[in-house]
Amino acid sequence: MGASEPIRANAQARIESIATASYRIPTDAPESDGTIEWSSTTLVTAHIDAAGVRGFGYTYASRAAALVIADTLAPLLRERDALDIAARWLDMVRAVRNIGRPGVASMAIAAVDAALWDLKAKLLQKPLVTLLGASRDAIPVYGSGGFTSYSIERLGEQLGRWAAEGMRFVKMKVGRAPAEDAGRVRSARAAIGDCRLFVDANGAYSRHQALAEARAFADDGVDWFEEPVSSDDLEGLRHVRERAPAGMAIAAGEYGHDAGYFHRMLEADAVDVLQADATRCGGFTGFMEAAALCAAHGVPLSSHCAPSLHLPAMCAARAAVHLEYFHDHVRIESMLFDGFRPPRGGLMTPDRTRPGLGVELKTRDAERYRC
């Protein structure tokens, strides 16, 4: 569906229908990080029709998020004005009060909110980055994978390829077998040359372990340590941040589901860089709240996963520094999204010739993964 001309001033766009689906896509190999293992990723989609136009949004979540969309959010939003996104977002947040906003409900809201922003931009015949208000033309990416389940050979191949493609940063997982971490980091460093190296423990270490590992990693030029301890341990994050080697940034925030979470993390001086995930924190509406908090606190912002979704938001957010180019989600989006744009020279650039988010689900290709 598409509009032949922008929607008229003072017009409304009544929501006619909201459809949702979930797709489980197997990984290309067994994967693990410091705390969990997985063999598939679930994509939950939302499509919203209004005024002859269809908006598309998505999240990476349990298929339970699709049930929340279908049972709780869709009945609430039908016949409401799609253009008033802030009002619709508040409607959804209020509707999930009794089932619990953090977690699955927030991810369901995220998919619908993203679809509303995509829809509005299409109705106005503008790329979403323009509607949000661009701060830059492109955003640096960092290649993210290096799973603890990988052999040393695959670790080096993946990270080395990204470095050779022009990425200035790459990230690997640590924490599954702490005794092996320093050696794996040395191997990664040998494979990537002068490229900057990030590590992510996914909260696997204790405070003392994290500091010991940070000192070892620093010898190989690691300057980003993500979730050295659990992101629920704000005191622990601050403890590590204050004692980490000079020049090593402590990052966390990907599990935030609302502005209050990000506010508490920033007020605690727990991180040098805040991570936020629009697929978890309520879509673009919630993500731009996190971006505003970063700007107010003078803390850089990095996005977590879902590269196609975060591209316009990260080009709009003033505090943004780089976008995570996560292996699993890159595979899915390159396979199943029409309009997917890989980085060039380490940068992702929005397609300003396409209105809205810039990507569409290839429904026929996705059907075999439907669950």
Whole-angstrom CA distances from 70 to 97, 105, 173, 334 are: 16, 12, 35, 27
Residue 341 in this model has a pLDDT that exceeds 80: yes
pLDDT level of residue 8 (50, 70, 90 thresholds):
low
Q: Among candidates 194, 208, 203, 206, which has minimal Cα distance to 225?
A: 203
Tens of pLDDT, residues 203-247: 999 999 999 999 999 999 999 999 999 999 999 999 999 999 999
What is the distance, to the nearest Å, from the Cα of residue 158 to the centroid of all Cα atoms in its chain? 20
Tens of pLDDT, residues 123-149: 999 999 999 999 999 999 999 999 999
Between 70 and 7, residue with greater pLDDT: 70
Distance CA 28, CA 167 (A): 22
Distance CA 20, CA 48 (A): 9
Does residue 269 contact residue 247 with C-beta atoms inside 8 Å? Answer: no
Helix (H) or strand (E) holding 171: strand 169-173
The chain-wide mean pLDDT, for the chain, equals: 97
Does residue 52 contact residue 108 with C-beta atoms inside 8 Å? Answer: no
- Name 215's Cβ contacts closer than 8 Å, sequence gap at least 6: 245
Tens of pLDDT, residues 242-288: 999 999 999 999 999 999 999 999 999 999 999 999 999 999 999 99
Does residue 117 contact residue 339 with C-beta atoms inside 8 Å? Answer: no
Residue 10 in this model has a pLDDT that exceeds 80: no
pTM of structure? 0.96
Does residue 260 contact residue 272 with C-beta atoms inside 8 Å? Answer: no
Q: Where are the alpha helices (DSSP H) in the chain?
A: 64-68, 74-77, 85-95, 104-123, 128-132, 152-164, 178-192, 207-218, 234-243, 259-267, 283-297, 307-316, 327-336, 363-366
Query: What pLDDT is attached to residue 329?
Result: 98
Residue 9 in this model has a pLDDT that exceeds 90: no
For residue 297, how many C-alpha atoms fall within 13 Å in the half-sphere facing its CB?
A: 23
Query: What pLDDT is attached to residue 76?
Result: 95
Query: What pLDDT is attached to residue 5?
Result: 67
For residue 74, how many C-alpha atoms fall within 13 Å in the half-sphere facing its CB?
A: 18
Distance CA 41, CA 236 (A): 30
Catalytic amino acids? 173, 304
